[in-house]
Amino acid sequence: MDMFKTLPIAAEIIGGKKNTYLCMHGGISPNLKEKSDIDKVSRFVEPIKGLMFDLLWADPFEDDDFRKASFEHNGNRDCSWYFGIDPVAKLLLKGDYVAILRAHEV
């Protein structure tokens, strides 16, 4: 846990004027309203829910379901959320990101 607490839970990669990417292991969260919310996450507890947990474990809806406009409970993991295109589009516009890059799948 000591090593985990030192790792970033998300990162911005800036590749030029309008090429900023938001990166995380999992996905986005209904608790992520502003990119500054990430800096407010307590790194000194083991996450079982909330923003840090979602950044680690959320997943996008699959295929055509990605067009869904909201978040839904992630039944495959039985935790965190599925997210669709509308929450992604809102976050991209608000944070001035080109894309969200994530690392895992169920």
9-25 confidence digits (pLDDT tens): 899 999 877 789 999 99
pLDDT tens digits along 31-55: 998 889 999 988 777 778 999 999 9
Residues 6+ apart with CB under 8 A from 4: none
Domain residue limits at 51: 4-102
| Residue 66 DSSP one-character state | G
Tally of structural domains, the chain: 1
| Beta strand 10-14 pairing with 59-60 | unpaired
